[in-house]
Chains A and B, each alone.
Chain A
């Protein structure tokens, strides 16, 4: 379902970090155009 799609990956420190989301989606065929991890504390 992600093949050929452009993706923005927003992660969170105590949840799932951005690079991990990006890695999973790239493996599923998506193109990650932006990724970032945020910290709300």
Chain B
């Protein structure tokens, strides 16, 4: 049995008023005894986020390779007539996202004013499908909201800088149920469910037909006894109406999406399930991660969007692009966590075991972080660095000459185009483009290569990674 990749969805949520709750803006504000709202008062409009060329590439309206033809900086060269609706994605405005957060909240954590309570999704069928129409209206008491915020029990929520409510903690001494952590988890759930809903709506799939959901989101859901032990997949399945789907989370930092795809395909090939969805929700903690560098250099705060991805894999019908589980890259615990060690384990070795060369893969989808976000922070062009490493491997293997490195990178690579949302840029945003190209015959194969920073958790100095080949 073979697992076919049938559909992909890439969504973005424009969330300028949540940037203040990103980890870096929040910590800087505390350190400097500032209000983060003052620092991040004038961010991009929804229209500016929609017209931003990398965002258009993310939702499928622009081939990533075409970014190279748009003059830099891209934020000064928006695409004329850009639409929030993409070939396989969508961009949601913040006020509609508050409606999704409210729909995701089953514990009365969000207290929104009358204007913002209830169904307020405009122009997105995928988001509207998630709203719980029969939610009791409740009563908004300004004094209660102010009181909770004043006592530090709740975080204020804003729309266009105006207070519209708050999100409250759910335990007086459990840091895992703190208001900001709960908002972070709700944001991952709601944006993941939005991506899944978009996949279902675009592909005309009945939510009830989905059998299994794997979440590759990074958030640590749980209370004080089991922080990170929670299961976002099943909550996302529930929110999207996938009532017949069980779910489980797969985690390995940014490498998780590829692991999740491999696990889903393996379950299908083994006959355990007939279909599965892989879903990843957005990371609120990473909003504004490099914003201070951007502000310092006169660059707009580009980390103002949450990302979401969803992929549908199935055994039927038996045709179309598939994941080739004979070519899966793993990085063993004993292998050095160097760029070369990772490239060998994830690309060279799995291809060599199948008798294939590095250059035999048409396109590599590596860590596709938007360089325009990375470079002002001095953090380098991650996609370009990864392609250089693969080209160097091809040179060392005698496949190409050293002089052919630039051609190899241009032919087998692409500019980064994804927001710095951790696991979201990890190769997988290209899968929607790959599906379209494989269906029209313009692409034969792509290898998705993702890396995970295990060392961030202080349990090991290792890195991790995973890869898989997708073929027409």
Contact, CB under 8 Å: A41 / B425: yes
Contact with B along A18-41 (1 / 0, CB 8 A): 111000000000000000010111
Beta-carbon contacts under 8 Å, B132-155 to A: none
Other 6 A-B pairs with CB < 8 A, given A14-B385, A40-B290: A13-B463, A16-B339, A17-B463, A19-B337, A37-B463, A41-B379
Q: B367 on the interface (CB 8 Å rule)? A: yes
Q: A15 on the interface (CB 8 Å rule)? A: yes
Sample of 21 A–B contacts (CB below 8 Å): A13-B453, A14-B367, A14-B380, A14-B382, A14-B451, A15-B380, A16-B339, A18-B455, A19-B337, A19-B461, A20-B336, A20-B338, A37-B455, A39-B455, A39-B456, A40-B289, A40-B377, A40-B379, A40-B420, A41-B369, A41-B420
Q: For A19, what are the chain B residues with a Cβ–Cβ distance below 8 Å?
A: 337, 461
User: If the complex has contacts A14-B339, A14-B367, are A37 and B382 also in contact, measured as CB distance less than 8 A?
Assistant: no
What separation, in Å, do the CA atoms of A13 and B290 have in the docked complex?
16
What separation, in Å, do the CA atoms of A12 and B367 have in the docked complex?
14
Q: B201 on the interface (CB 8 Å rule)? A: no
State which size class the interface on A falls in: 10 to 19
Binding site for A on B (CB under 8 A): 254, 289-290, 336-339, 367, 369, 374, 377, 379-380, 382, 385-386, 420, 422, 425, 451, 453, 455-456, 461, 463
B251 to chain A, nearest CB (A): 15
Q: For A13, what are the chain B residues with a Cβ–Cβ distance below 8 Å?
A: 451, 453, 463
Contact, CB under 8 Å: B455 / A15: no
Binding site for B on A (CB under 8 A): 12-20, 37, 39-41
Beta-carbon nearest neighbor of A22 in chain B: B461
Q: For B254, what are the chain A residues with a Cβ–Cβ distance below 8 Å?
A: 41
Contact, CB under 8 Å: A37 / B461: yes
What separation, in Å, do the CA atoms of A8 and B110 have in the docked complex?
45
A27 to chain B, nearest CB (A): 15
Most buried by B among A13, A20, A37, A41: A41
Q: For A15, what are the chain B residues with a Cβ–Cβ distance below 8 Å?
A: 339, 380, 385
Contact, CB under 8 Å: A41 / B461: no
Q: For A40, what are the chain B residues with a Cβ–Cβ distance below 8 Å?
A: 289-290, 374, 377, 379, 420
A20 to chain B, nearest CB (A): 5
Contact, CB under 8 Å: A41 / B367: yes
What separation, in Å, do the CA atoms of A15 and B377 have in the docked complex?
15
User: If the complex has contacts A40-B374, A41-B367, A41-B425, are A12 and B461 also in contact, measured as CB distance less than 8 A?
Assistant: no
What separation, in Å, do the CA atoms of A19 and B461 have in the docked complex?
8
Q: For B379, what are the chain A residues with a Cβ–Cβ distance below 8 Å?
A: 12, 40-41
What separation, in Å, do the CA atoms of A14 and B456 have in the docked complex?
14
Q: For A37, what are the chain B residues with a Cβ–Cβ distance below 8 Å?
A: 453, 455, 461, 463
What separation, in Å, do the CA atoms of A16 and B339 have in the docked complex?
7
Most buried by B among A13, A16, A17, A18: A13
What separation, in Å, do the CA atoms of A18 and B385 have in the docked complex?
17
Q: For A18, what are the chain B residues with a Cβ–Cβ distance below 8 Å?
A: 455, 461
Beta-carbon nearest neighbor of B423 in chain A: A41
What separation, in Å, do the CA atoms of A20 and B340 have in the docked complex?
11
What separation, in Å, do the CA atoms of A14 and B386 have in the docked complex?
7
Contact, CB under 8 Å: B367 / A17: no
What separation, in Å, do the CA atoms of A37 and B455 have in the docked complex?
7
Q: For B380, what are the chain A residues with a Cβ–Cβ distance below 8 Å?
A: 12, 14-15
What separation, in Å, do the CA atoms of A40 and B428 have in the docked complex?
19
What separation, in Å, do the CA atoms of A19 and B463 have in the docked complex?
11
What separation, in Å, do the CA atoms of A18 and B336 have in the docked complex?
12
Please tell me which one of the listed residues B289, B337, B386 contacts residue A17 in the complex, with CB atoms under 8 A apart.
B337
What separation, in Å, do the CA atoms of A18 and B382 have in the docked complex?
17
Beta-carbon nearest neighbor of A40 in chain B: B379
A33 to chain B, nearest CB (A): 16
